Amino acid sequence: MNDIPEVSTFLHNSKNIPYPGRLASIDVINSSCRHSLSVLRKIGVNEELRISPTKIGRTGPSIPAGTILTEYVLGVKKAFEGLGLSPLDRNPEATLVECPVLYYNGMVRTFNGIPDFEHINKTDHTILTEMKKEYKKEKLHKIAKWDNKGVIQNAFIMSKDKDIEKKRPICPSFASPLRFAGRFVVQCLNCFFRNFKGKNFNLSYGKELKEDLNNINRRIEQDELQVIAQTFDIKEMFSQIPHEEVQDAVHWIIGEFKNKGKHWIRYKTRGKGATFCKSAQEKGWKSIRLNDIDKLVNFILKNVVFKSVGTVLKQNKGVPMGGQASPPLANLVCMFSENKFLKSLGKDERFIHGKRYFYEHSPVSSFCSECRDDRSGLFLEAIVALHGPSLVLPMLCPCLDTCVPIPN
């Protein structure tokens, strides 16, 4: 839409909200008039009143400068009638205007034509009934309730800002029958992340990055070390994580806390919050054994179903982008791989300094000058292979073989 000069720049950002103008809908006008007249009827005013829609306007403060009225937005919408309008991925300042045929072909290429998505030739009712039966058979409804109002949602795609030919698959879960189970898994995993003190690259909060960089700076200055810096990005992580790796990561994190004597987790049934202890029947709290989290995650992974251009699909590999539990599960897989990698280095672990925010890696490795050329390449190769053959970590910038100053 940015390339159409006749359209106001206000509409380029799909998140902008227009200013209400005149009441254009006759139904809205009738409803407002009936509501207003009902007050007069209650005080005994029964005379017939006639109101002309053309004389009704919005009263109130003056319209701010540069604001677009709702009528203008509706006019632009009518001009683009029949075309698809959607925001670009990671760029809310732009709205893509696309032919529906191109969007349909993009959906087919992204979902329907991929072997990892299995076609399910059953009705929505049959699929949900079978899922619910299995859910109760495994007694998971005692952990997180099944949403009887849940539906199989429609997936969609978002074009990437750098290349609109590339699409990002989105499978929303806000109306899924497993949405309560997903929220519970998120609460528990976030509790694990907050309390896990093992070795990994996870960046918990922004302030932590500055503290770590300052520590690296002090080490470099004291020991006169040189630094090799490299940035990695995991491509298509959500769709490429094997379910076995997710399950192994969940087994690992549960085992870590069980070894410390943590066997129960208490969580809020409404809102957010979870702690390691058994509930004492407090109102609004519930407790389960850690092993039950494993069962719930396995059920969620096995029952990722959605619709794409009218076809019901089941995802047999990866986690859905848009699923409630997908971000923390992906984060957990990274933590598991990083923990194994750092432990395997032994004493050489001190040469590796890295941080990851969500799924991107920014490891900084420090080496003594006399051994930098011998081992730096080996460490970088190990980091590239960190998550196994299923995930690809291309380098985002050339390797720097000189001392890199890191600002405070």
- pLDDT bucket at 4, cuts 50 / 70 / 90: confident
57/118 same-domain check: no
Residue 74: pLDDT over 80: yes
Q: Are residues 111 and 179 in the same domain?
A: yes
Greater pLDDT, 358 or 16: 16
Instruction: Please list, in sequence order, all residues whose beta carbon lies within 8 angstroms of the beta carbon of residue 250, skipping any fewer than 6 positions away.
Output: 293, 294, 297, 329, 332
Q: Residue 372: its pLDDT value, please?
A: 46
Q: What would the mean pLDDT of 8-26 be, rounded to a whole number?
A: 72
Mean predicted confidence (pLDDT) in 331-337: 88
Residue 18: pLDDT over 50: yes
> What average pLDDT does this structure show over 240-245?
87
Query: CB–CB of 337/386 below 8 Å?
Result: yes
User: What is the C-alpha separation between 202 and 196, in angstroms, rounded?
Assistant: 11
Judgement on whether residues 245 and 300 belong to the same structural domain of the protein:
yes
pLDDT score at 360: 42
Q: When comparing pLDDT for 147 and 369, which is higher?
A: 147
Whole-Å CA distances, 406 to 19, 204, 206, 353, 403: 47, 20, 16, 13, 10
249 and 135 in one domain? Answer: yes
Domain that holds residue 148: 105-195+241-323
**Residues of the chain above pLDDT 70, percent:** 77
> CA 36, CA 97: separation in Å to the nearest integer?
41
Report the C-alpha gap between 140 and 127 in whole angstroms.
17
The pLDDT of residue 378 is 58
Query: Is-contact 208 258, C-beta < 8 A?
Result: no
147 in any annotated domain: yes
Helix axis angle, 243-258 to 179-195, nearest 10°:
50
* Torsion angle defined by CA atoms of residues 105, 109, 110 and 113, in that order, rounded to the nearest 10 degrees: 130
- Residues 184, 306 within the same domain: yes
Q: Which of residues 53 and 8 earns the better pLDDT score?
A: 8
Most confident of 40-54, 197-211, 237-251, 357-371: 237-251
> CA 373, CA 186: separation in Å to the nearest integer?
43
What's the farthest any 2 CA atoms get from each other in the chain? Answer: 99
Look at residue 132 and tell me whether its pLDDT is greater than 80. yes
The percentage of the chain sitting over the pLDDT mark of 90, rounded to a whole number, equals 27
**308 vs 86, residue with greater confidence:** 308
| In-domain check, residue 223 | no
Q: What is the pLDDT of residue 272?
A: 80
In a domain, 135, yes or no: yes
Res 341: pLDDT:
84
CB atoms within 10 A of CB 237: 23
376 domain residue, yes or no: no
Q: Looking at the structure, tell me whether residues 146 and 293 fall in a common domain.
A: yes
What pLDDT sits at residue 153?
Answer: 93
- Return d(Cα 34, Cα 27) in angstroms, integer: 11
d(CA 204, CA 16): 31
| The pLDDT of residue 271 is above 60 | yes
Tokens of 196: 């896990």
Segment of 19-33, 38-52, 290-304 carrying the highest mean pLDDT: 290-304
| Run of H or E residues at 10 | none
Q: Domain total for the chain?
A: 2
Same domain (yes/no): 129, 165: yes
Work out the pLDDT band at 129, boundaries 50, 70, 90: very high
C-alpha torsion 193→195→198→204, nearest 10: 50
Please indicate, yes or no, whether residues 168 and 40 belong to a single structural domain of this protein: no
283 and 183 in one domain?
A: yes
Kindly indicate the confidence band of residue 259, based on its pLDDT and cuts at 50, 70 and 90. very high
159 shares a domain with 46: no
Look up residue 347 and give its DSSP letter: G
